[in-house]
Amino acid sequence: DTGVSQDPRHKITKRGQNVTFRCDPISEHNRLYWYRQTLGQGPEFLTYFQNEAQLEKSRLLSDRFSAERPKGSFSTLEIQRTEQGDSAMYLCASSLGSQETQYFGPGTRLLVL
Amino acid sequence: LAKTTQPISMDSYEGQEVNITCSHNNIATNDYITWYQQFPSQGPRFIIQGYKTKVTNEVASLFIPADRKSSTLSLPRVSLSDTAVYYCLVGAGGYQKVTFGTGTKLQVIP
Protein backbone atom coordinates (compact mmCIF):
# COMPACT_ATOMS: atom_id res chain seq x y z
CA ASP A 1 0.00 0.00 0.00
CA THR A 2 1.56 3.29 -1.09
CA GLY A 3 -0.93 5.59 0.60
CA VAL A 4 -0.60 7.65 3.75
CA SER A 5 -0.23 5.49 6.84
CA GLN A 6 -0.72 6.35 10.49
CA ASP A 7 0.25 4.55 13.65
CA PRO A 8 -1.31 3.64 15.96
CA ARG A 9 -4.86 3.42 14.67
CA HIS A 10 -6.29 3.59 18.18
CA LYS A 11 -4.91 4.90 21.45
CA ILE A 12 -6.48 4.92 24.89
CA THR A 13 -4.68 6.87 27.57
CA LYS A 14 -5.28 8.34 30.96
CA ARG A 15 -5.56 12.05 31.51
CA GLY A 16 -2.16 13.62 32.08
CA GLN A 17 -0.21 11.10 30.04
CA ASN A 18 1.78 11.96 26.94
CA VAL A 19 0.99 10.36 23.59
CA THR A 20 2.78 10.37 20.25
CA PHE A 21 1.35 9.58 16.84
CA ARG A 22 3.23 8.85 13.66
CA CYS A 23 2.36 9.63 10.05
CA ASP A 24 4.13 8.28 6.98
CA PRO A 25 3.17 10.30 3.91
CA ILE A 26 3.15 9.16 0.31
CA SER A 27 6.83 8.89 -0.50
CA GLU A 28 7.33 11.71 -2.98
CA HIS A 29 4.97 14.16 -1.26
CA ASN A 30 6.74 17.15 0.22
CA ARG A 31 3.78 18.59 2.11
CA LEU A 32 2.33 16.99 5.22
CA TYR A 33 -0.69 18.14 7.19
CA TRP A 34 -2.24 17.29 10.53
CA TYR A 35 -5.95 17.64 11.28
CA ARG A 36 -8.18 16.88 14.21
CA GLN A 37 -11.74 15.64 13.86
CA THR A 38 -14.33 15.35 16.60
CA LEU A 39 -17.58 13.46 16.32
CA GLY A 40 -20.04 14.99 13.87
CA GLN A 41 -17.62 17.64 12.68
CA GLY A 42 -15.36 17.95 9.69
CA PRO A 43 -11.60 17.80 10.08
CA GLU A 44 -9.96 20.92 11.52
CA PHE A 45 -6.54 22.03 10.37
CA LEU A 46 -3.78 21.86 12.98
CA THR A 47 -0.47 22.36 11.20
CA TYR A 48 1.47 21.61 8.04
CA PHE A 49 5.02 21.00 6.88
CA GLN A 50 6.82 21.77 3.67
CA ASN A 51 9.58 19.16 3.74
CA GLU A 52 11.02 19.44 7.27
CA ALA A 53 9.86 23.02 7.88
CA GLN A 54 6.72 23.59 9.92
CA LEU A 55 5.15 26.51 8.08
CA GLU A 56 1.91 27.14 9.88
CA LYS A 57 0.16 26.23 13.10
CA SER A 58 -3.49 26.68 13.94
CA ARG A 59 -4.62 28.34 17.15
CA LEU A 60 -6.07 24.92 17.97
CA LEU A 61 -2.52 23.68 18.47
CA SER A 62 -1.94 24.58 22.10
CA ASP A 63 1.45 24.52 23.81
CA ARG A 64 0.83 20.91 24.78
CA PHE A 65 0.93 19.89 21.13
CA SER A 66 4.12 19.59 19.15
CA ALA A 67 4.74 18.24 15.68
CA GLU A 68 7.96 17.36 13.94
CA ARG A 69 9.01 16.13 10.56
CA PRO A 70 12.70 15.29 10.72
CA LYS A 71 14.37 14.90 7.34
CA GLY A 72 11.13 15.75 5.61
CA SER A 73 9.83 12.20 5.67
CA PHE A 74 7.56 10.87 8.42
CA SER A 75 6.02 13.16 10.99
CA THR A 76 5.12 12.81 14.64
CA LEU A 77 2.46 14.61 16.62
CA GLU A 78 2.92 14.61 20.38
CA ILE A 79 0.36 15.65 22.94
CA GLN A 80 1.67 16.28 26.42
CA ARG A 81 -0.44 16.12 29.58
CA THR A 82 -3.48 14.89 27.70
CA GLU A 83 -6.91 16.17 28.62
CA GLN A 84 -10.30 14.62 28.00
CA GLY A 85 -10.98 17.33 25.43
CA ASP A 86 -8.12 15.96 23.34
CA SER A 87 -10.20 12.88 22.54
CA ALA A 88 -10.64 12.94 18.77
CA MET A 89 -9.51 11.43 15.50
CA TYR A 90 -6.14 12.78 14.42
CA LEU A 91 -5.72 12.75 10.66
CA CYS A 92 -2.63 13.14 8.57
CA ALA A 93 -2.59 14.09 4.90
CA SER A 94 0.09 14.68 2.32
CA SER A 95 0.33 16.40 -1.02
CA LEU A 96 2.89 16.74 -3.75
CA GLY A 97 2.94 20.49 -3.52
CA SER A 98 0.93 23.50 -2.54
CA GLN A 99 -1.41 23.18 -5.49
CA GLU A 100 -1.98 19.48 -5.25
CA THR A 101 -4.77 17.45 -3.74
CA GLN A 102 -4.33 16.28 -0.17
CA TYR A 103 -4.48 12.53 0.42
CA PHE A 104 -5.49 11.40 3.88
CA GLY A 105 -4.42 8.55 6.07
CA PRO A 106 -6.83 6.37 8.08
CA GLY A 107 -6.39 8.45 11.22
CA THR A 108 -5.50 7.74 14.84
CA ARG A 109 -8.43 7.68 17.21
CA LEU A 110 -7.47 8.95 20.67
CA LEU A 111 -9.54 8.41 23.77
CA VAL A 112 -8.46 10.15 26.95
CA LEU A 113 -10.01 8.72 30.09
CA LEU B 1 -10.93 31.10 2.58
CA ALA B 2 -14.30 30.97 0.86
CA LYS B 3 -16.95 29.63 3.22
CA THR B 4 -19.07 26.78 1.90
CA THR B 5 -22.66 25.84 2.64
CA GLN B 6 -24.05 22.36 2.05
CA PRO B 7 -27.19 20.52 3.13
CA ILE B 8 -26.64 18.73 6.40
CA SER B 9 -28.15 15.47 5.19
CA MET B 10 -29.76 13.75 2.22
CA ASP B 11 -31.49 10.43 1.65
CA SER B 12 -31.61 8.54 -1.63
CA TYR B 13 -32.74 5.15 -2.84
CA GLU B 14 -30.29 2.75 -4.37
CA GLY B 15 -29.83 3.17 -8.09
CA GLN B 16 -30.80 6.81 -8.16
CA GLU B 17 -28.63 9.73 -9.17
CA VAL B 18 -27.72 11.99 -6.26
CA ASN B 19 -26.84 15.65 -6.62
CA ILE B 20 -25.30 17.52 -3.71
CA THR B 21 -25.01 21.27 -4.12
CA CYS B 22 -22.49 23.45 -2.36
CA SER B 23 -22.66 27.24 -2.17
CA HIS B 24 -19.46 29.27 -2.10
CA ASN B 25 -20.40 32.87 -2.80
CA ASN B 26 -16.99 34.30 -1.91
CA ILE B 27 -14.90 32.02 -4.09
CA ALA B 28 -11.69 33.67 -5.26
CA THR B 29 -10.34 33.69 -8.79
CA ASN B 30 -7.60 31.16 -8.07
CA ASP B 31 -9.74 28.83 -5.95
CA TYR B 32 -10.51 25.27 -6.97
CA ILE B 33 -13.50 23.27 -5.78
CA THR B 34 -12.75 19.88 -4.28
CA TRP B 35 -15.03 17.18 -2.94
CA TYR B 36 -14.10 14.52 -0.43
CA GLN B 37 -15.96 11.45 0.80
CA GLN B 38 -15.58 10.14 4.33
CA PHE B 39 -16.74 6.86 5.81
CA PRO B 40 -16.98 6.40 9.59
CA SER B 41 -13.61 5.91 11.28
CA GLN B 42 -11.70 6.56 8.05
CA GLY B 43 -9.86 9.53 6.63
CA PRO B 44 -11.48 11.62 3.89
CA ARG B 45 -11.02 10.31 0.38
CA PHE B 46 -10.58 12.62 -2.61
CA ILE B 47 -13.43 12.31 -5.11
CA ILE B 48 -13.13 15.08 -7.67
CA GLN B 49 -11.78 18.57 -8.23
CA GLY B 50 -12.65 21.26 -10.71
CA TYR B 51 -12.29 24.91 -11.56
CA LYS B 52 -15.11 25.61 -14.00
CA THR B 53 -17.74 23.98 -16.23
CA LYS B 54 -17.85 20.20 -15.87
CA VAL B 55 -15.43 17.57 -14.69
CA THR B 56 -16.10 13.86 -14.81
CA ASN B 57 -14.18 10.88 -13.54
CA GLU B 58 -14.99 7.25 -12.92
CA VAL B 59 -16.68 8.05 -9.63
CA ALA B 60 -18.57 11.30 -10.04
CA SER B 61 -19.23 14.45 -12.02
CA LEU B 62 -18.77 18.00 -10.85
CA PHE B 63 -20.82 20.79 -12.35
CA ILE B 64 -19.70 24.39 -11.88
CA PRO B 65 -21.73 27.29 -13.33
CA ALA B 66 -20.09 30.24 -14.98
CA ASP B 67 -20.21 32.46 -11.87
CA ARG B 68 -18.59 29.66 -9.79
CA LYS B 69 -20.61 30.63 -6.73
CA SER B 70 -21.90 27.10 -6.38
CA SER B 71 -21.06 23.59 -7.48
CA THR B 72 -22.92 20.31 -7.70
CA LEU B 73 -21.46 16.90 -7.06
CA SER B 74 -23.34 14.25 -9.01
CA LEU B 75 -23.12 10.59 -8.04
CA PRO B 76 -24.66 8.31 -10.67
CA ARG B 77 -26.70 5.32 -9.57
CA VAL B 78 -25.73 5.28 -5.90
CA SER B 79 -25.38 2.06 -3.96
CA LEU B 80 -25.48 1.34 -0.24
CA SER B 81 -21.70 1.67 -0.13
CA ASP B 82 -22.01 5.35 -1.10
CA THR B 83 -23.49 6.10 2.32
CA ALA B 84 -20.96 8.55 3.71
CA VAL B 85 -20.32 12.20 4.51
CA TYR B 86 -19.43 14.36 1.54
CA TYR B 87 -17.40 17.54 2.00
CA CYS B 88 -17.12 20.47 -0.39
CA LEU B 89 -13.94 22.50 -0.07
CA VAL B 90 -12.85 25.66 -1.79
CA GLY B 91 -9.25 26.79 -1.97
CA ALA B 92 -6.23 27.08 -4.16
CA GLY B 93 -5.70 23.42 -4.94
CA GLY B 94 -3.88 21.87 -1.99
CA TYR B 95 -4.12 25.15 -0.07
CA GLN B 96 -2.76 24.47 3.35
CA LYS B 97 -5.59 25.76 5.49
CA VAL B 98 -8.27 23.55 4.09
CA THR B 99 -11.57 23.99 5.92
CA PHE B 100 -14.00 21.12 5.77
CA GLY B 101 -17.21 22.34 7.38
CA THR B 102 -19.73 19.77 8.58
CA GLY B 103 -20.37 18.17 5.20
CA THR B 104 -23.48 16.42 3.83
CA LYS B 105 -24.41 13.08 5.31
CA LEU B 106 -25.78 10.94 2.49
CA GLN B 107 -27.87 7.94 3.47
CA VAL B 108 -28.60 5.46 0.69
CA ILE B 109 -31.71 3.43 1.31
CA PRO B 110 -32.26 -0.06 -0.13
- The shortest CB-CB distance from B93 to any of A56, A99, A109 is to A99
A10 confidence band (pLDDT: 50, 70, 90): very high
Using a CB-CB cut-off of 8 Å, the residues of chain B touching A4 are 43
Nearest to A110 by CA among A57, A58, A27, A36: A36
Is A47 in contact with A53 (CB distance < 8 Å)? no
**Who has greater pLDDT, A98 or B104?**
B104
Is residue B45 within 8 angstroms of chain A, CB to CB? yes
The mean-pLDDT minimum among A49-53, A95-99, B61-65 falls in A95-99
**Pairing assessment for the beta strands B70-75 and B61-64 based on DSSP bridges:** antiparallel
- Chain A residue with the nearest C-alpha to that of B97: A45
- Rounded to a whole number of angstroms, the distance between the first and last alpha carbons of chain A is 33
A47 confidence band (pLDDT: 50, 70, 90): very high
A68 confidence band (pLDDT: 50, 70, 90): very high
d(CA A81, CA B27): 40
d(CA B91, CA B97): 8
C-alpha B52: how far from its chain's center?
Answer: 14
Is residue B41 within 8 angstroms of chain A, CB to CB? yes
The arithmetic mean of pLDDT across residues A36-46, rounded, is: 91
d(CA A2, CA A8): 17
B52 to chain A, minimum CA–CA distance in Å?
A: 16
Helix (H) or strand (E) holding A33: strand A31-37
The arithmetic mean of pLDDT across residues B69-86, rounded, is: 96
Is residue B28 within 8 angstroms of chain A, CB to CB? no
Using a CB-CB cut-off of 8 Å, the residues of chain B touching A55 are 96
A100 confidence band (pLDDT: 50, 70, 90): confident
- The shortest CB-CB distance from B43 to any of A55, A91, A101 is to A91
C-alpha distances (whole Å) from A36 to each of A45, A85, B57 are 7, 12, 29
